[in-house]
Amino acid sequence: MINTVYVIAGPTATGKSDLSISLAKKVNGAVINSDSMQVYKNLKILTARPSLSEIKNIDHHLYGYVDGNKRYNVERWCNDATEIIKKTSDNNLTPILVGGTGLYINTLINGLIDLPSIPESIKIDSEKILQEFGKDFLINQIKNVDPESLKEINYNDTVRLRRIWEVFESTGKKFSEWKLNTNKKFVTNYKFKILLFLPDREKNYQVVNSRFVNMMKGGAVEEVKKLLELDLHDSLPIMRAHGVPEIKKYLANKCNLDECISKGQQVTRNYVKRQHTWWNSSNLEIFQKFDKFPSEIDLNSIKID
């Protein structure tokens, strides 16, 4: 038997969470987070995690359950999501993935290169290289050992640049060679129905701007202050969540509040732009695509069979 998994995808600040709850009520579903930052328990406001009142009548999974001192990644999420999907289906509930992290969705469906784990010390070293010497230096380092891997990525994608360097540094084997391995698969016998929302980007930006202001009014500064008290390394994913570096700078008196808000809005808008680009160029099979916000869609217009 092939079970259905719904995926509500699209850029941040489009209202995907609200739709996931409505859809869950209609199809007897359970909601599974597929946002890379909403997994962290230390950030609720800045990641726009659904509130307790919003989720009280529908099962929600993989929200706020990872400590910020952990380097959570796509493989760990895929393993966790696979377990929840199977348990949900066994309980006769329909799994509904919701989030803007396209990489997570793509990897869950298509699998992952079976790479060895990278030691924390190597990850810290790659962060230092990027911060102290810059992106061009890191690119030249990769050109000397694995130029083939550079052909397939955008040079502005520092996460993937670091990954290529880290793999060779820790294993002595090129990332391009590791990619020849058979992909590690996560889920089988499931049909993924992706509902993709790509509303007008300028309108999306406007929502981002107002939402960030509301986050600041709602306690984001205090949330980051508590996070900084944990004295976590800057290379950890949670420390690069949108708004964290900007508020950290504000708390250090390196910018005023207006500058902090403006920069926080800008980095989030830049992320929205990248998300639009990623989904528009994705090879994933889209079940239904909408050019509006979920709130502008009649739930009855969504195919569920």
Domain ranges across the chain: 3-112+184-301, 117-181
Task: Report the C-alpha dihedral over residues 2, 9, 23, 29, rounded to 10 degrees.
Answer: 40
Q: Is 195 helix (H, G, I), strand (E, B) or coil?
A: strand
Whole-number CA gyration radius for the chain? 20
Output the pLDDT for position 92: 94
Handedness of CA 247, 251, 254, 258 (dihedral sign): positive
| 215-263 pLDDT, tens digit each | 999 999 999 999 999 999 998 999 999 999 999 999 999 999 999 999 9
Closest listed residue to residue 41, CA positions, set 20, 17, 72, 11: 72
Closest CA to 102 of 246, 240, 237, 286: 286
Q: Mean pLDDT throughout 106-129?
A: 88
The stretches of the chain forming alpha helices (DSSP H) are 16-27, 52-55, 74-90, 102-110, 120-133, 135-145, 147-150, 158-171, 175-178, 201-217, 220-228, 244-251, 257-281
What pLDDT sits at residue 305? 67
Q: Please check the confidence at residue 36 and state whether its pLDDT lies above 80.
A: yes
| SS3 state of residue 270 | helix
Burial class (CB in 10 A: 0-12, 13-18, 19+), 145: middle
Q: Strand 112-113 and strand 183-184: pairing?
A: antiparallel
In words, the CATH class of domain 117-181 is mainly alpha
Task: Calculate the CA dihedral of residues 284, 288, 292, 294 and round it to 10 degrees.
Answer: -100
224, 75, 178, 172: CA torsion to nearest 10: 50
pLDDT of residue 1: 62
* Average pLDDT over all residues of the chain: 93
**Can you tell me the mean pLDDT for 123-142?**
91
192, HSE (Cβ side, Cα atoms, 13 Å): 21
Identify the CATH number of the domain defined by range 3-112+184-301: 3.40.50.300
CB neighbours of 214 closer than 8 A, spacing ≥ 6?
none
In this structure, the number of other CB atoms found within 10 A of the CB of residue 296 comes to 11
